[in-house]
Amino acid sequence: MQTETNPQVIFRFSRPSGAPARKPSPAMTHALQLFSEADEMKVFVANARVQHRQVLVQVFHSTDGCPMLIHTTATPKGGRK
């Protein structure tokens, strides 16, 4: 999932094997979009842009669907989706 306001930021949702796939709620989607636009993320996104990279925000869920870890990294553009 890419944000409409910032195409430099991509979201990916991961779950344990065997756990049912769940679509993120509108509230989670909105919260992550705000996270990607936060002042604290602007420097990270700007540095990724200079390096011709995108920011990947990966959300890891527990088996019951609760988010338990959010990991950010810069990946090559057009890389992992």
Confidence at residue 81, expressed as pLDDT on a 0 to 100 scale: 46
Which pTM was predicted? 0.76
Q: Is 31 helix (H, G, I), strand (E, B) or coil?
A: helix
3-state secondary structure 33-68: HHHHHCHHHHHHHHHHHHCCEEEEEEEEECCCCCEE
Q: Which residue has the higher pLDDT, 81 or 77?
A: 77
Summarize pLDDT for 2-57 with one digit per residue, the tens. 555 567 888 888 888 888 888 888 998 889 889 988 998 999 999 999 999 999 99
